[in-house]
Chains A and B, each alone.
Chain A
Amino acid sequence: MIYDIRQTTTYHYASSVAYARHVLRLTPIDRLGQRVHAAALDIEPAPIERREGHDFFGNRMTWIELDQPHDTLSVRVAARVAIKRDVAPEATPPWEVIREAAFASTDLSPNSPAHYLFPSRQVSLDPEIRAYAADSFSAGRPVLDAAVDLMRRIKADFVYEIGATTASTTPPMSFALRRGVCQDFAHIMISGMRGLGLPAAYVSGYLRTAQSAGEEQLEGAGAMHAWVLVGCGEDVGWRGLDPTNGIFAGDDHVVLAIGRDYADVAPIDGVIFASGGQRLEVSVSVTPAE
C-alpha cells in the first residue's frame, strides 16, 4: 500500500517570540516493511539555521534556530510512503527465554533489547500494572502470544477517550482511570512488559484515514498515532502491536519514529523566548495514493 501523508503543525503564540530553538522528528525513514519514496519538511518562518541528522534510535531529526521575532511557527510535512508488512501470528520463544536473553545481551546498538527494559522518562514501572500484565504471561507462554493477549485485554478493559488525559499523563494515572488515548495505552502496555523484564519500545506514526463513510475508522486516525514494538528475540525481531485498536501494526500503520517512550519521539521539542502562552493546531491526513 502506498500512502500520501500530509501534516501541518502550527503554533500560535500569544506574544511575539524573539528567539527559538526546536528539534523536529517529523520525517519518516525507510524501515523494515516501509519505504519512503519522498519526504519534505517545510518550515515557516524560515530558520536562520537548519540541520538534518539522526538521533540515537535512527530517527530523522531536524534542528532549527529562529532568531527573528515571530507570532506563529508552522511546519508542513509531505511524504509518500510504501508499506508492506507480514502480520500473521508466528511462533516465538517462551517469554522467560526472551527475558534472560535480553538481560545477557552483548549488543549496545539501538536495536538491542537492553535499551527497552528499564523505566524511561514517561514510563515508570508500577507494581499494579505489572500484576495486570502478568495475567497474560503464564509460565512458558510464547512471548508474542502473551503480548497479543495483553494488547487485547487493554483494548477491552480501557475506554478510548480524547481529553481524559494529556501528553504528560503517567501510566499509573491512566491505568487508574482505565481510559486515555493511544499514547496512554502504549505506555501502559510498555510498563507492564518491562515490569516483567521484557523489552518493549514506543512507536509514533500515522494510521490510514478512512476513505468513505462506510469504511471502519480506526481509533487514532486523523491525528498522530502511537503503538508498541515487542521484542521477540534475535530470530524473530520486533513486532508492532496496537493496543488502541487491538490489532497488529500492519499495512495501515506508517512508522514515524521509535524510542523508549513518548519523550524520545515527541514530534516537536523546543525552547522559545517569549512571555505569553501558546496554542497548537495540528491536521493529519493519510490517504492511499492513486
Chain B
Amino acid sequence: MAGQRERASEQGGIEPLLSGYRPPPGTFDEMVDREGRVRAHWQPLLAMLARLGPNELSRRFAAADRHLRDSGVFYRVYEDASGAERPWPLSHMPLLIDGAEWQALKAGLVQRAELLEAVLADAYGPANLVREGRLPAVVIAGNPEFLRPLVGVAPAGGAHLRFYAVDVGRSPGGHWWVLGDRTQAPSGAGYALENRLALSRVMPEVYRGLKVERLAPFFQAFQAELSALNRQDDSRVCVLTPGPMNETYFEHAYLARYLGFLLVEGEDLTVREDGVFIRTVSGLKRAEVLVRRLDADFADPLELNARSRLGVPGLVQAVRDGTVVIANALGSGVAEARALLSFLPALAPTVLRSDLTLPNVATWWLGQTRARDEIIDRLDEMVIASAFLGELPGHGERREVLGAMLEPEERTRILEQIAHRGIDFVAKEAVTLSTTPVWHNGRLEPRPFTLRLFLARTSDGWRVMPGGFVRVADDIDARAVSLQRGGSTGDAWVLSDKPVAETTLLPAPDRISITRGTGPLPSRAAANLFWVARYVERAEATLRLVRALVSRVSDSDEATTRVVVQICSLLRAWDAVPNDLPHVRPVLVASATLQGSDLEGALPYLVGAAQSAASVIRDRFSPDAWRALTDLFELINAPIDHPPTESMIFERTNGALRIIASFSGLAQENMSQLAGWRFLELGRRIERAIATCRFVREFAFAKLDGALDVLLELADSQITYRLRYVMVPAAAPVIDLVVLDPNNPRSLAYQLSRIEAHLAALPQRSGDGRLSPPEQIATALAAQIRTANATALDKPAFLALEEALMKLADLIASTYFTTHERAEVRWEALG
C-alpha cells in the first residue's frame, strides 16, 4: 500500500513535466507508451527531475552549456566559408536505455562487427564471396574506398576493424534497426565523452542515483589493446589527424589527450626502410600503432591520392611490410557502402553460420535487374541514395531523395539514371524514427533521433561502449538527422540493474604526465609552441608600447611630445602602423596598432598568428589556456567606437595585457615542464630579450626627459626602480635593472639565463657531448651580460645583441624543427 502511494505521488510529481508532451501518431516514443504512460525505466529520472523543478533544471542545463563552451568543444561547419566553429548544441535530456534491452542490442552489434570484418578480409583477400556469387564484384570494385594497393595485404595485428560505429534508429514497431555502418574513422565517441561529462557534472545526484553504466572502462580497454600492439617499449601510439581544418579535429585532440596518445599530422611522420617514425625534437622515434582519423585515400600521396598533402609518403609500403598497425586498416571504409546493406542479411548465415539478430533498414542495390524493376514500381515508398557513400550522383549536394517527394522532372531524370547505371544507386525503405524528449522552453518535447553506438576490438573480443552519441533533429518531422545541418546532440544512458563501478572519467592531471613521461615531441608541435609564445610576447610588447603612448598624449609639454614621437616611430618600424600615418595624432597611431588588421606588426595579425599556431597543437594546451587565447582574439577583434578615445584604447590595452598575463601564468603553472613547455618558454624568452634590446636602444640613449621612464614602464620595472633608487631615473641604474640584474624577471640577463637552462635541458641532437650551436650562442651571450658593466654598454652593443638573439632563434629552428617544404613531383609530357 505504501509503495503504491509513493508511486502515485511520484507520478503526480512528474505530471507538469509531461504536460503537452505529444509524440506524433504512428511513431514510437522512448519515454511514453502509446497511451501516454511513462515507461518504467524513465520513471526514476523524471521523478528526480521533477523534484529539482523547472527553474533549477534550466539553471543546471545552462551550467552544462557553459562547461562545454569553456572546454572549447566545437564542431566545424563545412558549409561556412570562414570555417567558423559553432557552439556545441547539447540536448540536455539523456536517452535512457533499459539494461535488458541493451544486452540484446549489444549482441547484435558484436555479430555485425564480426560480419563486416569477415567481408573486409574477403574483399582484400581471396574474394570468395564475390566468386561464389554472394556479393557482386561491382559492389566492392565500384566503391571509392576499395583501395587497390591494399589488395592481398593482410593487416598487421590481424584485423581491419578495431573501432567501429553503428548508427541505429527505432522503428514504429519498437525494434532497433541499423541505419548505417562507420568503419573508416568513426567520429562521435569523444563527443559522447564530453556530453557525458557535461551532464554528469551538473546532475551528479541524478547520474549516481540512476546506476548509469560508466564509459571509462570501454576506453581503457581500447587503450590497453592498442598499447599492447606496440612491439618495442619506446613506441608511442599516435592519433593521425588531417589537422585543425577537419570538422571533428576537436575530437581528435580530445581523444589523444584522454587516451594518452600522441596527436600527429602526416607531416610529423616519415617512413623509412624498417617502419614508420615520428619526427621529433629528439630525432626519429618509432611509431608502430596509428589511430587513423584521416580518410584512407589521403593517407599516402605515393600510392593513394597523389594530390594529398595530408598523408605520409610510403605509408602503404609500411603497411605491406607489416611494420605498422593502423586502426582502422587502410581500405576498411569499403564496409560503409550502403549497397552492402542489401547483401549482409544473406551473407550472415554463410559467414557467421547464424542470422543477423539486429536487422538493417531494408535496402535494395539497383545494379540487379530484378531489384531495379521491382523498385521502379514502388518508388514512392522509397528513399533513393548513392550505392556507396556521399552524395547522390547528379543531384547536387543531396545525399538522398524521397521517392514520394520527387518533382515530375526529377523523377524522370532519376529513373533514366537508374536505367543506365543502376549500379550507382540503392533504394531504402523510408523509415520513421522514434522520438525522445528534449528540454525546450522549460518543458519536454518529443524529437526524432538517431543513435551512434561504438565498438572496440580487445583481446577478449569486441567490446561495446555502454552509451552512445545521440543526434536529435530540430524538427519534429525530420526524417534525416545530421549535425552538419542543424539539430543537437545528446547522451545515451544505459541503465544497469547492478551497482556500477565508480571509475573516474578523466585521468587525474598527474596521471597524464606519467603516461606521457618524456614522450616524443613532434618537431612540428615544437615549432608551433615556439611561435605561439613568440607571437604572444610580441603582442605584449606592442601593447605595452600602445599603453605608454596613450598615457602620454594628454601632456603637451615639448619633452613629452618628443617621447611620444619616439614611440610612434618604433611602432612604425615594427610595421604596426602604416607609414603614411602622421605623428601628430598619437591616438590614431595607437588605434591603428590595435586594429590595423593587415599589418604584420599590428595586434590583429599578431594575435591571429598566435591563435592559428596554437590551433594546430590544441591538444597541448589546457582548456583554460586555449580559452585565454580565444578571449584575447575576440577582444582584439571586437570593434571600437569611432572616433576612438584615449580611455577606450587604454581600457582595451589593459584588458588584453591582463589576458596575456593569465595565458602566460596558465602555461607556467599548468603545463608539464617537458620539452613542449621548454619550446614555449624559449619562444617567449627570446622574443622578450629581443624586445628589451630594442627598447633599450630606443629609450636609454635618447637623452630626452621621460625616455627612461618609458623604458622602465615597458620593462615593467618602475616599482623596483623606485624601491631601489629614490631619485629620477638615470641611464646607468636603469640599464643595470632592465638589462643586467639577474633577479629582475624582465631583464635581459634573466631571459638569457632561462634560455641557457632550457637549451641545456633539451634533447641533445649530436650525442658527442659538445654544446649545440644554439647553446654556444646562448652561453656566450649570457656570459657577456653576466660580466658586463652598465656604463660600458652602448647603443651598437645592443644592436649586436639583438642580431645575435635573432640568429639564436634561427638556429633553434634549424636544429629542432623541420624546415623543408613538401612538394609533389608532377608529370607534364604526354602525346
Contacts and interface: CB of A to CB of B under 8 A. Distances in A.
Interface of A: 11, 18-23, 49, 51, 55-57, 63, 65, 100, 102-109, 112, 114-115, 117-118, 121, 125, 127, 130, 162, 166-167, 181-183, 195-197, 207, 219-226, 244, 262-263, 266-275, 278, 280, 282
B656 to A, nearest CB: 35
B303 interface: yes
B823 A278 contact: yes
Contacts of B127: 108-109
Contacts of A274: 820-821, 823
Given A106-B133, A117-B142, A196-B420, A270 B302 contact: yes
B367 to A, nearest CB: 5
Contacts of A273: 820-823
Given A223-B830, A272-B822, 6 more contacts: A23-B303, A51-B317, A55-B148, A272-B823, A275-B821, A282-B829
Contacts of A244: 831
Given A195-B420, A221-B831, A267-B827, A118 B142 contact: yes
Contact of B831 (A127, A222, A269, A275): A222
Given A49-B273, A117-B142, A167-B830, A272 B137 contact: no
Main secondary structure of the interface of B (DSSP, over half): loop
- A-B pairs, top 10 by smallest CB distance, nearest first, are A220-B831, A56-B148, A223-B831, A114-B141, A270-B825, A114-B137, A273-B820, A271-B313, A282-B829, A108-B127
B777 interface: no
A18 B821 CA distance: 10
B140 A280 contact: no
Contacts of A125: 393, 421
A220 B420 CA distance: 33
A108 B123 contact: yes
Contact of A105 (B136, B303, B821, B828): B136
Nearest to B365: A103
B422 interface: yes
Interface residues of B, number: 48
A115 B823 CA distance: 30
Nearest to A276: B823
Contact of B151 (A11, A56, A262): A56
Nearest to A165: B830
A133 B338 CA distance: 29
A182 B821 contact: no
Contacts of B273: 49, 65
Interface string B296-317: 0000011101100000011001
25 contacts: A19-B820, A21-B271, A21-B302, A23-B302, A51-B317, A65-B273, A103-B367, A103-B422, A108-B127, A108-B140, A118-B144, A130-B420, A167-B826, A167-B828, A197-B420, A220-B830, A220-B831, A225-B830, A225-B831, A226-B831, A267-B827, A268-B825, A270-B825, A278-B825, A280-B827
Contacts of A51: 317
B423 A197 contact: yes
B824 interface: yes
Nearest to B367: A103
A130 B826 CA distance: 30
B420 A107 contact: no
A271 B820 contact: no
Contact of B131 (A107, A225, A226, A275): A107
B394 interface: yes
B130 interface: yes
Interface in B113-149: 123, 127, 130-133, 136-138, 140-142, 144, 148-149
A121 B144 CA distance: 9
A108 B301 CA distance: 25
Interface string B808-830: 00000000000011111111111
Nearest to A107: B137
B151 to A, nearest CB: 5
B357 interface: no
Contacts of B303: 23, 269
A117 B394 CA distance: 16
B821 A271 contact: no
Contacts of B136: 103-106, 114
**Of listed B133, B424, B830, residue having the most chain A CB within 10 A:** B830
A121 to B, nearest CB: 7
Interface in B358-381: 367-369
Given A100-B369, A114-B138, A114-B142, A223 B423 contact: no
Contact of A22 (B141, B151, B825): B825
Interface in B414-431: 420-424
A257 B826 CA distance: 18
A212 B302 CA distance: 40
Nearest to B320: A53
B489 to A, nearest CB: 34
Contacts of A195: 420-421
A219 B393 contact: no
B822 to A, nearest CB: 6
Contacts of A63: 302, 314, 317
A219 B137 CA distance: 37
Contact of B130 (A102, A107, A266, A280): A107
Nearest to B301: A271
Nearest to B132: A106
A225 B830 CA distance: 6
B138 A102 contact: yes
A244 to B, nearest CB: 7
**Of listed A106, A109, A130, A266, residue having the most chain B CB within 10 A:** A106
Given A55-B148, A166-B828, A280-B827, A108 B822 contact: no
